[in-house]
Structure 1
Amino acid sequence: MSNIKMITLNVKGINHIIKGCKILSSLKKDRVQIALLQETHLTDSEHLKLKRDWVGQIYYSSFNSKSRGIVILIHKNLPFTLNTIVRDTDGRFILITGLLYGEQILLEVFMHQILLIDCFIQTFWQKPPLCVRITVCNPHVKDFIFFSHPHFSFSRIDYMFVSRSVLDRTRGCLINTCAFSDHSSVSMGLLPPYYDPLSRHWRLNPAPLSDPEFVKYLENQWELFLSTNELPGVSASTLWEVGKAFLRGSIIAFTSAKKKSTLTKQLVLERDITNLEREVSADTTELYRYKLNFKPIVASIKNDLNRWFDRPLSWMGRISLIKMNVLPRILYPIQMLALSVRLRRDSESDRH
């Protein structure tokens, strides 16, 4: 029985068409069925444009194209029936209730999730029948969702609250890799009350036909099939029907292998990003931050100064190079990182 995969993510604006397409494609690849997105920075008309591809139902609360914005995306194959919807006119929260697999459910998304959910619980329930799923699933894991560069601090600001009546049907709650935003997404699986199988029909994806390697592979497979099965006693109709099944299997094998190879590379990159995030969160000393951020910049500046040393430049030209090239490269990390930089004389830099 497949789980209902839900995900919450602070996207920090998806009004750029490329970023929006990448996020929707990533959600489709991960087989997300309910997506709760915050900080969309979209208007009402722009929110409606998200209803494409795998998205069947969309519920949103807008403010303007510069800030706030909440949206709930529901997969087109999910049998959800809406009953009521409550939304904020300032784009801070949205609340929907409805039927999913015959059960009454409540979905909520808040901009400042912890505070507003606590207030909501205390207002509507005297004894809150909710628990934080991410804490229940990972009681001993120290992981974070957001990293503040100016303050060099880590925090958890997104949580999954579930009812205790369905706590035994939840399947894992994970903090995923930070890929499209400065926030990491939180995903959770929910087991439906009964199995609802879907009839699947195979269709040819025309995109691989533009790949010369794929076309060459099909030609070789078809020649192999004809050389093996084109016999005197076999009719043309039988040969064609069997050939279609053979080609379909060959196409599935090729695309699956290529998809697996691409996914493996992506997982390696995501694992590297996750390891780096954990390494940074584990070592928060100033020396580590200096080595990670300043040493590469200082080395690059030294290389540039060595290259410019023998150039026939005037004093004003050298001053302009420092102002336009060197200073902007060191001002940004100094402003963004809370470091006490100790100044020392560097003979190699001073002589330039």
Structure 2
Amino acid sequence: MAYRSAPLKIITQNCRGLNIPERRTHLLQELRKKHVAIAMLQETHFKEGSTPTLRNSHYPNNYFCNHSTAHKSGVAIILAAELEFKELERIQDSQGRYLFLKGIIADKIYTIATIYLPNRRQAPFLRNTLHQLEDFTDGILLVGGDFNAPLDPTLDSSTGHSCLPQHSISSIRELEALRLVDCWRTLHPTVKDFTYYSALHNRYSRIDYLLIAEEGLSHLLGAEITPATWLDHGSVEMELNSPLYRPKAWTWRLNEALLLDPDTKEQIHQVLEQYFRENDTPEISPISVCEAHKSVICGTLIRIASQKRRRSCLK
């Protein structure tokens, strides 16, 4: 199977609850609008055994890790339909704090991990989680999550400090075992930008991170933080220049109902009449004229269909 090189867009997002159907619909629409291939979500607030539907034709493949007894925490990994993924193994936390997913994309192994740290004792929880992830990891490792603490308070906090003691911060930053790199900070070494505002502490912080193993860093095309809109956390997004992603080629199909509309048939007649009047000349070969007129018809029908959709939306 042939794969062509194309940007692989990855996002991490704290959702702060997706039990309301409108929020799930909004999330999937936003992922599609951004052409996201892999979404790592935190705080879905789904309960084990009662996971709502979070899929559509563009994102049919999703993996959940929910809290065993309550509607809180919860993480998920959402994969686009274009990303042909073969699952090998997964590990999930009974409290809905992390989900590790291992699989094959274009004959290469990827390990994808989404993590949601508690707002207390972040350091020991992350340390134990990363130890498990180290034993589980194969291939290229991608990690996204809400760490509930800045990795570098000097740059990742508007006040320049954190409520966590320094030894805890140092422990959280111990990512060397998995050779993980902060994608956004790698491209913006001195910039201050934030993903969350705490009204309690009157402080902006960057507590949401996308990390990649060092061996995958050469594929990194870009990384950005997008401001919070309908959610209280901004998202972190990155693009990898990867041959492992194969978007489906868009093919146009004729809506045959257009040919039953007298106005549409009249417009096509006028367009073709003008086309042949301007192009059926001795300077242009008949074969070229015939082949090109197909594109003219196609473009006209696409324009008419688009106009009809816009009018129907305005009603």
Tell me the TM-score normalized by structure 2.
Answer: 0.66
1:40 corresponds, among 33, 44, 50, to 44
Query: Partners in 1 of 2:49 and 2:220 — Cα distance?
Result: 34
User: Partner amino acid for 2:129?
Assistant: F
SS in 2 for 1:165: helix
- Are residues 248 and 117 of structure 1, via their aligned partners in 2, closer, same or farther at CA, if it must alter by over 3 Å? farther
- Matched residues, percent identical? 26
Question: 2:57 maps to which residue?
Answer: 53
- Are residues 197 and 50 of structure 1, via their aligned partners in 2, closer, same or farther at CA, if it must alter by over 3 Å? closer
User: Partner amino acid for 2:99?
Assistant: I
Deviates more, 1:87-96 or 1:36-45: 36-45
- Are residues 46 and 54 of structure 1, via their aligned partners in 2, closer, same or farther at CA, if it must alter by over 3 Å? farther
1:147 corresponds, among 179, 197, 211, to 197
Asked whether the equivalents of residues 46 and 52 of structure 2 are also in contact (C-alpha less than 8 Å), the reply is no
1:190-229 Cα shifts (integer Å, max 9, x gaps):
22246747443213689xx9xxxxx999678435315425
For 1:52-201, list aligned pairs within 5 A.
52-63=56-67, 66-112=71-117, 115=123, 116-121=125-130, 124=134, 127-193=177-243, 196=246, 198-201=248-251
1:13-44 Cα shifts (integer Å, max 9, x gaps):
11111121111011001100101111112235
Question: 1:294 maps to which residue?
Answer: none
Query: Partners in 2 of 1:59 and 1:21 — Cα distance?
Result: 17
Query: Partners in 2 of 1:84 and 1:52 — Cα distance?
Result: 24
Asked whether the equivalents of residues 75 and 99 of structure 2 are also in contact (C-alpha less than 8 Å), the reply is yes
Aligned length: 246
- Are residues 250 and 107 of structure 1, via their aligned partners in 2, closer, same or farther at CA, if it must alter by over 3 Å? same
Asked whether the equivalents of residues 173 and 188 of structure 1 are also in contact (C-alpha less than 8 Å), the reply is yes
Asked whether the equivalents of residues 275 and 293 of structure 2 are also in contact (C-alpha less than 8 Å), the reply is no
Question: 2:23 maps to which residue?
Answer: 19
1:46-73 Cα shifts (integer Å, max 9, x gaps):
6461132211321101126732111100
- Are residues 193 and 228 of structure 1, via their aligned partners in 2, closer, same or farther at CA, if it must alter by over 3 Å? closer
Asked whether the equivalents of residues 48 and 58 of structure 1 are also in contact (C-alpha less than 8 Å), the reply is no
User: Partner amino acid for 1:249?
Assistant: G
Highest relative contact order (Cα 8 Å, sep 6+), 1 or 2?
2
User: Partner amino acid for 1:34?
Assistant: I
SS in 1 for 2:112: strand
Query: Partners in 1 of 2:40 and 2:94 — Cα distance?
Result: 18
Query: Partners in 2 of 1:204 and 1:111 — Cα distance?
Result: 46
Shift of 1:162: 0.5
Asked whether the equivalents of residues 159 and 186 of structure 1 are also in contact (C-alpha less than 8 Å), the reply is yes
Root-mean-square deviation over aligned CA pairs: 3.7
Asked whether the equivalents of residues 169 and 190 of structure 1 are also in contact (C-alpha less than 8 Å), the reply is yes
SS in 1 for 2:296: helix
* Structure ranking higher in helix proportion: 1
- Are residues 11 and 203 of structure 1, via their aligned partners in 2, closer, same or farther at CA, if it must alter by over 3 Å? farther
Query: Partners in 2 of 1:53 and 1:195 — Cα distance?
Result: 17
Query: Partners in 2 of 1:205 and 1:119 — Cα distance?
Result: 56
Asked whether the equivalents of residues 41 and 69 of structure 1 are also in contact (C-alpha less than 8 Å), the reply is yes
1:261-311 Cα shifts (integer Å, max 9, x gaps):
xxxxxxxxxxxxxxxxxxxxxxxxxxxxxxxxxxxxxxxxxxxxxxxxxxx
SS in 1 for 2:232: coil
SS in 1 for 2:300: helix
Question: 2:11 maps to which residue?
Answer: 7
Question: 1:314 maps to which residue?
Answer: none
* Structure ranking higher in strand proportion: 2
Query: Partners in 1 of 2:95 and 2:73 — Cα distance?
Result: 8
User: Partner amino acid for 1:131?
Assistant: V
- Are residues 119 and 52 of structure 1, via their aligned partners in 2, closer, same or farther at CA, if it must alter by over 3 Å? same
